[in-house]
């Protein structure tokens, strides 16, 4: 396959995200602040309230747990900060909301971060929340004839465009000597892909957690390959709207401190948390426990190692025609807020 043909395939698959971000930024007031201070009382002693809009996806991570329990909101309420939650099916829609000025923070995989930078969305990745080694996998149905990555040739593979699992799929088949011309990529969001896998409409599914583990337990699916199996590091990030963190540095640090305190509680009470999530979301406890045991959430500065892994993803996308320009990904990486938050917590 020529680079020109490969670029056309990738451009078709990723352009929707980039275009949506660009159009939203142009037409929806991307420079407006959702972190505005709102008066809560009249008179000279009235105290302003800062509103933080936070994106959440899935049911088992730190942010979903914080929304369910109110843990972050309760910590910030003491500082007159209000959290408003916004639910998304995957990473790419976060950037449309960021570009429109409707979102301040969210947690997403590396591929949406790359696409957001290509689309000139004004944001920063402010912390690493997962090393990504166990975050993505290619799942196959029970009794599948697929035994190795090379067997994906000619098969229909479901994946959400622009997601971390999307880039993972391309890096995985590259290791098997395959290209996107060798497989049939079917664009599916998680709630569409699972029924498609179960019915046989697709032969494999490239997906992130907790969906991979859920498919294994509920459908008898198998993991063909994971990022850990293939040595593919794919860090996930906490992203923030640039205007917000510039205008509200103290609220930014406060949010990161609350996130870290919630994360520590999450890890220290893992099985109790699993029971809470399973009960609230009507999920099987064994599934939730397995997902949490594999998740290993972190909150860390973007070290040179994490930055290099992220740059490698962007370079791969450029080399294979997935993005039309070479990126200097360090331009959107900013660790000073999380470093300050962790420093303050250590001193408390």
Q: Are residues 10 and 127 in the same domain?
A: yes
Q: Which of 230, 258, 281 is the last residue of a domain?
A: 230
Report the CATH number that the domain containing residue 204 is assigned in CATH: 3.40.190.10
Q: Are residues 97 and 164 in the same domain?
A: no
> Count of domains in the chain?
2
From the number of C-beta atoms within 10 Å of its C-beta (0-12, 13-18, 19+), residue 4 rates as exposed
Annotate 150-174 with b (16+ C-beta within 10 A) or e (fewer): ebbeebbbbbbbbbbbbbbbbbbbb
* Structure token pair of residue 270: 């893992």
**Cα separation, 229 vs 221, whole angstroms:** 17
Q: Are residues 112 and 253 in the same domain?
A: yes
**Where do the DSSP E strands lie in the chain?**
37-39, 48-56, 81-87, 105-108, 123-130, 136-140, 156-159, 184-187, 204-208, 222-226, 236-241
Q: Are residues 122 and 191 in the same domain?
A: no
pLDDT per residue rounded down to tens, the chain (348 residues): 444 444 444 444 454 444 444 433 333 333 333 443 333 333 443 468 999 999 999 888 899 999 999 999 999 999 999 999 999 988 889 999 999 999 999 999 898 999 999 999 999 999 999 988 888 999 999 999 999 999 999 999 999 987 888 889 999 999 999 998 999 999 999 999 999 999 999 999 999 888 999 999 999 999 999 999 999 888 999 999 999 999 999 999 999 999 999 999 999 999 999 999 999 888 889 989 988 888 889 999 999 999 999 999 999 889 888 888 999 999 999 999 999 999 999 998
What is the domain extent for residue 166? Answer: 136-230
Q: Are residues 88 and 168 in the same domain?
A: no
Q: Are residues 157 and 26 in the same domain?
A: no
Q: Are residues 144 and 114 in the same domain?
A: no
**Cα separation, 122 vs 100, whole angstroms:** 10
- Please answer whether residues 83 and 70 qualify as being in contact, where contact means their C-beta atoms are separated by less than 8 angstroms: no
Q: Are residues 342 and 245 in the same domain?
A: yes
Q: Are residues 124 and 143 in the same domain?
A: no
Q: Which of 204, 230, 256 is the last residue of a domain?
A: 230
* Structure token pair of residue 289: 């426990």
Q: Are residues 241 and 224 in the same domain?
A: no
Q: Which of 230, 248, 280 is the last residue of a domain?
A: 230
Rounded to two decimals, what is the model's pTM?
A: 0.79
Q: Are residues 204 and 245 in the same domain?
A: no
Q: Are residues 213 and 280 in the same domain?
A: no
């Amino acid at each position: 396959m020529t680079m020109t043909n490969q670029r056309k395939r990738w451009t078709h698959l990723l352009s929707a995200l980039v275009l949506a971000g660009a159009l939203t930024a142009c037409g929806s007031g991307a420079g407006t602040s959702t972190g505005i201070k709102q008066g809560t009382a009249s008179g000279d002693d009235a105290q302003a309230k800062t509103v933080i809009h936070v994106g959440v996806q899935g049911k088992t991570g730190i942010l979903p747990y914080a929304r369910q329990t109110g843990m972050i909101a309760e910590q910030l309420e003491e500082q007159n900060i209000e959290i408003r939650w916004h639910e998304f099916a995957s990473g790419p829609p976060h950037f449309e909301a960021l570009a429109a000025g409707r979102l301040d923070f969210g947690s997403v995989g590396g591929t949406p971060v790359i696409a957001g930078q290509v689309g000139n969305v004004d944001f920063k990745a402010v912390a690493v929340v997962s090393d990504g080694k166990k975050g993505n996998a290619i799942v196959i149905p029970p009794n599948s004839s697929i035994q190795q990555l090379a067997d994906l040739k000619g098969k229909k593979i479901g994946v959400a465009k622009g997601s971390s699992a999307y880039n993972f799929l391309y890096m995985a088949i590259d290791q098997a000597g395959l290209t996107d011309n060798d497989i049939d990529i079917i664009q599916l969001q998680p709630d569409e892909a699972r029924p498609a896998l179960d019915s046989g409409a697709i032969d494999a599914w490239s997906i992130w957690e907790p969906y991979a583990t859920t498919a294994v337990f509920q459908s008898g699916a198998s993991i063909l390959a994971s990022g850990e199996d293939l040595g593919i590091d794919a860090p996930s990030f906490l992203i923030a709207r640039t205007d917000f963190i510039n205008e509200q540095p103290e609220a930014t640090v406060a949010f990161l401190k609350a996130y870290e305190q919630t994360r520590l509680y999450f890890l220290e009470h893992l099985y109790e948390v699993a029971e809470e999530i399973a009960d609230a979301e009507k999920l099987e406890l064994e599934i939730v426990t397995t997902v949490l045991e594999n998740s290993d959430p972190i909150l860390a500065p973007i070290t040179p190692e994490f930055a290099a892994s992220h740059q490698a993803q962007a370079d791969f996308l450029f080399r294979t025609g997935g993005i039309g320009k070479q990126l200097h990904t360090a331009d959107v990486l900013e660790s000073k807020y999380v470093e300050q938050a962790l420093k303050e917590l250590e001193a408390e």
